[in-house]
Amino acid sequence: MKRNETSRNGTAEDRAMMSLGTGAKSLKELVGGLRSEGFSTDDSVKAVLSLQRKGKAAMHEAKPYASLFGYAASPISTWFWAAVAAVVLSMGLISVTSGVAIYLRYVFGSVLVLFLPGYSLIEALYPKKELDELTRFALSIGLSLALVPLVGLVLNYTPFGIRLLPVTLSIAGLTLLLLAYALFRKHQYYRLANGVA
């Protein structure tokens, strides 16, 4: 019976488009309307996400995050906290010299040197999603390979020299500064895109 009802009324995606044509709705209202027409919750959510992926529908928060703190605490900023956690974990693993944790030190140290500085710079330079993920990944590695030697060059002319602790602290500090600036820029773009004053 459900199959006949679906074919008679169209697909969940078609019904969602028709429902959106009557005006802006909350996600809860849209999915509830589709469920009342006989579609399952999974089919309803998949239809709405498919419309968003195709650019036929846009989802926004009911109340946009006006403050930088609110934006930073939101799920939108998960990328920021993941990168900060990787930097902090890399710093915490500096003193490890033996055991199983040394492999974590190698992994997170490599991520700190070969990926995170460039990633944070790319996020700061391109706050919109104008680059695809593969391009962002490649540019992150390339820019990291450019930034880290510059940090070493600057450290060479300081009293600290090129040693493990000063190099790690400098790269981590640079990465955290760039991540904070990237978060600020993304919040500014978010406010502009959502019309938040």
pLDDT tens per residue, range 129-148? 889 999 999 999 999 999 99
Q: Does the residue 97 lie in any domain?
A: yes
What is the tally of structural domains in the chain?
Answer: 2
Domain identity same for 21 and 109: no
Domain enclosing residue 15, as ranges: 2-53
Q: For residue 150, give Cα distances in angstroms to 10, 123, 142.
A: 59, 19, 13
Kindly give the residue spans of alpha helices, DSSP state H, lying in the chain. Answer: 2-9, 12-20, 27-36, 41-53, 68-73, 78-92, 101-114, 116-125, 133-156, 164-194
Q: Does the residue 61 lie in any domain?
A: no
Token digits for 175? 């990465």
Domain identity same for 40 and 72: no
Residue 4 has pLDDT above 60, yes or no: no
Which among 39, 52, 23 has a CA at the least distance from the CA of 31? 39
Average pLDDT over residues 163-170: 94
CA–CA separation, 155 vs 174, rounded Å? 13
Domain identity same for 108 and 186: yes
On average, the pLDDT of the chain sits at 86
- Which of the four pLDDT bands, split at 50, 70 and 90, describes residue 60? low
Which among 182, 188, 184 has a CA at the least distance from the CA of 143? 182
Q: Does the residue 62 lie in any domain?
A: no
The per-residue pLDDT for range 96-122, each reduced to its tens digit, is 888 889 999 999 999 999 999 999 999
- Which of the four pLDDT bands, split at 50, 70 and 90, describes residue 36? confident
User: 0.85 exceeded by the pTM?
Assistant: no
Q: What is the pLDDT of residue 197?
A: 66
CA–CA separation, 164 vs 25, rounded Å? 55
Token digits for 56? 């036929």
Domain identity same for 148 and 186: yes
Q: Does the residue 6 lie in any domain?
A: yes
